Structure 1
Amino acid sequence: MDNRYHSDFLDVAYRADLRVVVGRWMRQATLEELKQGYQRLLEVAFEPACRGWLLDTRRRLNTDPAAQRWLTEGFMDTAAARLGGRVYMAYLLPPAQLRDTTADSAFPPPQFFANKPYEAARFTDERQAVEWLLHCQNTAPAAVR
């Protein structure tokens, strides 16, 4: 599988130097485009068994509740199983959205991820998001495939 993907709504690339898949949403996406986009993220992540995903959502509006259900009620479990371990997703958000806790009520609170095969956190600074992903990778068990 190619380690890049480009469409009018999403750019995905594997950063081998960081061992991170970077997905940059280019615009607001429909539910079908979101599903397609996350599938592409998984395809790019599969070959290197990359379980650290940097998701730049600064050009998108808040999380769609239907998309959030789709992610948390099946897709992310499948992704973790295919990648051989826990998947870590760092979401980049505009500062105003992160400060407004009611702006994105579809995003689960930290305790939601306690017993899940995936974890997500939100950031406004890309450097901090990458540092979090690297920390997660360095403390997580190795991928099993």
Structure 2
Amino acid sequence: MSPDPFSTVALHVTYRPDLSQLTGRWLRSVNEDELHAGYQALRMAARHYRCAYWLIDSRRRTNRSLNGPEWVVTRFLPQVQRELGMPLSVSFLVLPEYLKSLPPSLLSAPPGSPLQFGRFLNEGDADAWLAAQQSGG
């Protein structure tokens, strides 16, 4: 699948109309400016496609800051959810050691929130969770 016009040098963006799903795959570790640019590209793509179901594959981002996930789930994603005007569901693919390092508040959103997110170790689980979100489950 070819990259979406919203892709950056560090993030490959694709939109799957058959699944109504936006996918962002980080290609490497990034600095803070590249992190923000990549997420802004996802925001623009989501607005363009009116897409509220995202899969973000961050397994290639091995050099991480714990500041990144907090900014994403407490500031960035809530802003996108408000802009879209609909519930937003985001599944993150992560490496096992990274998952172990996160505090519980950054693993998933509280039930009933208009922003739902989860962190997964394999793409099958991430896709199944997104499909359940789309079907209301």
Query: TM-score band, normalised by the shorter chain?
Result: 0.7 to 0.9
How high is the sequence identity, in percent, across the aligned residues?
30
**Residue ranges of structure 1 left out of the alignment (5+ in a row):** 141-145
Q: What TM-score, normalized by structure 1, do the two folds share?
A: 0.79
Letter in 1 for 2:27: M
How many residue pairs match? The answer is 135
SS in 1 for 2:116: strand
**Residue of structure 2 in register with 1:108 after alignment:** 106
**Residue of structure 1 in register with 2:76 after alignment:** 75
Contact 1:31 1:66 in 2 (8 A): no
* 1:48-72 deviation per Cα after TM superposition (whole angstroms, max 9, x unaligned): 2111110001101275232233223
Contact 1:87 1:119 in 2 (8 A): yes
Alignment pair present for 1:65 and 2:62: no
Q: What TM-score, normalized by structure 2, do the two folds share?
A: 0.83
**Residue of structure 1 in register with 2:114 after alignment:** 117
**Residue of structure 2 in register with 1:41 after alignment:** 42
CA RMSD of aligned residues (A): 2.4
**Residues 65 and 107 of structure 1: CA distance in aligned 2, closer, same or farther (over 3 Å):** farther
Alignment pair present for 1:137 and 2:131: no
**Residue of structure 2 in register with 1:92 after alignment:** 93
Superposition deviation, residue 96 in structure 1: 4.7
**Residue ranges of structure 2 left out of the alignment (5+ in a row):** none
Separation of aligned partners in 2, 1:10 and 1:107? 25
Q: Which has the higher contact order (CA 8 A, sep 6+)?
A: 1
Separation of aligned partners in 1, 2:5 and 2:38? 12
